[in-house]
């Protein structure tokens, strides 16, 4: 006699009479059995059920009871069932256990079944006999195998990283959902977009994150043939592969590669801070930016821009907005968002700009020079939303200022960010403003960033040397010496 016990809430298995079975979709039952990897050496199966599938017992056995082990590109996976013979119940039955093996690592679980040892086929991992209890037990084992196989495939497709423990936990409903790179990246971009809509972050930075997200999607598909990857699988080799992909497939220069790798580093920091990742794959990775020449307008070019005769008020607006940025150091986004609330008068009775930079959130305090004040007065009150300047779209302004510069006789390639370099170099540093003060006005977190903007002009170098020469001549031990 075979004793069968199982827990219904863990292993749901509806009971159907023979008539109900005939009405049930045969394809569904067959698909469940067909995907199993059970193996049975003796075809002792209830033939009263097999006629439903239009197969002879031997043929069905050959189709559905194949080897239980198969290999994928990533791992070797198998499921077997065995008896825990050292634990004998009072009625003489022993528990049936399951063992999942992935790449040699194993984990066990209870099948919630007990059988008599003499009725167990050790080699096939099944119950022998044709009784109703035996057939039901084997059906439950087949369903378990199908579910385990399905969880294995789902985890492989989702995480590209499978362990026996992960498969078991998924089967038992205890699965811990591992965070993946693209999930974290997607959530980050969604949050960042909300901050852009609230005026807290720059659209340009969001565009960079979205570009890198697309590059990563393509990289994972081409190099790894997956849509996502578990965070724990991020390694220095993965980062190096992504760098090579950017250089070869996307033809990015070194500085662009550096720019696109930084968002990936940001995702790693987010994962580490949230304890989703325990190691830093960037710890031993290094890529250096190539030093480039930052362009700026000279004093003569600023004068050409200020004195140029323009065709209409639109060109005047483009020029005035550009000059305002050149005499304050504000970026295009911060200039566009400037309101009356940002203009304050302090203890020195001078007007100052007090604004948090949209890109970094760092507060900038900039005293308004006479030229900047005149530009504000020229456009004050024209905007109904409280902003100071009626600023068109960025690309409209960029094309506009380039046309203005060409009309004024400036042959240099013009970018809007160039106005910020002009402020740091030509307006501030060349006129003796200390680099620490310039860094504060530009809203930089580090003075190293200011050093990138600030290039010493020949005029400033000559002024410094003239000042040094004058000081040396006033020192007694150097003055009046005959050599």
Report DSSP letters for 361-380, one per residue: --EEEEEPPHHHHHHHHHHT
pLDDT for 392: 94
Q: What DSSP character marks residue 92?
A: S
Q: What residue ranges in 74-228 does DSSP mark as E strands?
A: 76-83, 94-102, 105-115, 120-121, 126-127
pLDDT-flagged residues of the chain (< 70):
1-75, 174-178, 453-460, 474-483
pLDDT for 474: 66
Q: What residue ranges in 330-471 does DSSP mark as E strands?
A: 343-345, 351-356, 363-367
345-403 confidence digits (pLDDT tens): 887 788 999 988 877 778 888 999 999 999 999 998 888 888 999 999 999 999 999 99
pLDDT for 227: 86
Could you tell me the sign of the dihedral formed by the alpha carbons of 279, 282, 283, 284, in that order? positive
- What is the spatial distance between Cα 440 and Cα 364, in angstroms, rounded to a whole number? 6
Secondary structure tally for the chain: helices H, strands E: 19, 9
pLDDT for 445: 80
Residue 203 to residues 76, 376, 447, Cα–Cα distance (Å): 46, 25, 25
- Supply 258's token pair: 């550096």
pLDDT for 38: 38
- What is the spatial distance between Cα 376 and Cα 428, in angstroms, rounded to a whole number? 20
pLDDT for 170: 84
pLDDT for 179: 80
pLDDT for 359: 75
- What is the spatial distance between Cα 294 and Cα 170, in angstroms, rounded to a whole number? 55
pLDDT for 284: 84
pLDDT for 65: 36
- What is the spatial distance between Cα 456 and Cα 321, in angstroms, rounded to a whole number? 25
CATH topology classification for 299-466 = hpI Integrase; Chain A (1.10.443)
pLDDT for 390: 93
pLDDT for 2: 46
pLDDT for 48: 39
pLDDT for 458: 64
């Amino acid at each position: 006699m075979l004793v069968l016990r199982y827990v219904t809430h863990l292993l749901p298995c509806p009971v159907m009479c023979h008539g109900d079975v005939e009405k049930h979709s045969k394809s569904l039952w067959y698909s469940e059995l067909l995907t199993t990897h059970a193996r049975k050496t003796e075809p002792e199966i209830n033939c009263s059920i097999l006629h439903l599938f239009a197969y002879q017992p031997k043929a069905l056995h050959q189709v559905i009871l194949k080897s239980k082990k198969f290999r994928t590109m990533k791992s070797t996976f198998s499921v077997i069932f065995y008896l825990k013979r050292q634990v004998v119940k009072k009625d003489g039955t022993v528990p049936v256990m399951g063992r999942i093996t992935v790449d040699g690592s194993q984990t066990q679980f209870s099948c919630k079944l007990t059988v008599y040892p003499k009725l167990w086929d050790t080699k096939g991992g099944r119950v022998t006999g044709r009784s109703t209890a035996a057939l039901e037990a084997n059906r439950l084992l087949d369903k378990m195998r199908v579910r385990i196989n399905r969880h294995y495939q789902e985890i492989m497709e989702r995480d590209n990283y499978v362990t026996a423990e992960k498969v078991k936990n998924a089967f038992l409903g205890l699965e811990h959902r591992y965070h993946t790179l693209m999930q974290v990246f997607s959530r980050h971009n969604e949050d960042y977009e909300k901050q852009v809509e609230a005026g807290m972050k720059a659209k340009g930075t969001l565009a960079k994150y979205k570009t890198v997200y697309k590059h990563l999607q393509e990289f994972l598909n081409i190099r790894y043939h997956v849509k996502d990857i578990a965070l724990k699988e991020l390694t220095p080799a993965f980062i190096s592969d992504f760098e090579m992909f950017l250089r070869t497939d996307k033809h990015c220069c070194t500085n662009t590669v550096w720019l696109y790798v930084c968002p990936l580093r940001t995702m790693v920091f987010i994962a580490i801070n949230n304890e989703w990742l325990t190691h830093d794959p960037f710890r031993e990775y290094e890529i250096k930016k190539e030093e480039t020449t930052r362009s700026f307008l000279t004093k003569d070019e600023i004068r050409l821009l200020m004195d140029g005769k323009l065709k209409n008020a639109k060109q005047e607006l483009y020029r005035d907005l550009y000059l305002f940025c050149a005499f304050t150091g504000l970026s295009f986004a911060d200039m566009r968002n400037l309101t009356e609330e940002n203009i304050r008068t302090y203890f020195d009775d001078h007007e100052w700009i007090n604004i948090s930079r949209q890109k970094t959130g760092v507060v900038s305090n900039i005293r308004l020079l006479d030229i900047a004040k005149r530009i504000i007065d020229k456009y004050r009150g024209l905007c109904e939303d409280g902003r100071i300047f009626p600023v068109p779209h960025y690309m409209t302004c960029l094309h506009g200022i380039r046309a203005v510069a060409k009309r004024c006789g400036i042959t240099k390639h013009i970018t809007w960010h160039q106005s910020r370099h002009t402020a740091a170099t030509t307006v501030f540093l060349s006129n003796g403003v200390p680099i620490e003060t310039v860094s504060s006005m530009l809203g930089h977190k580090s003075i190293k960033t200011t050093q990138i903007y600030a290039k010493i002009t020949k005029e400033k170098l000559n002024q410094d040397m003239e000042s040094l020469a004058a000081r040396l001549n006033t020192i007694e031990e150097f003055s009046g010496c005959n050599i």
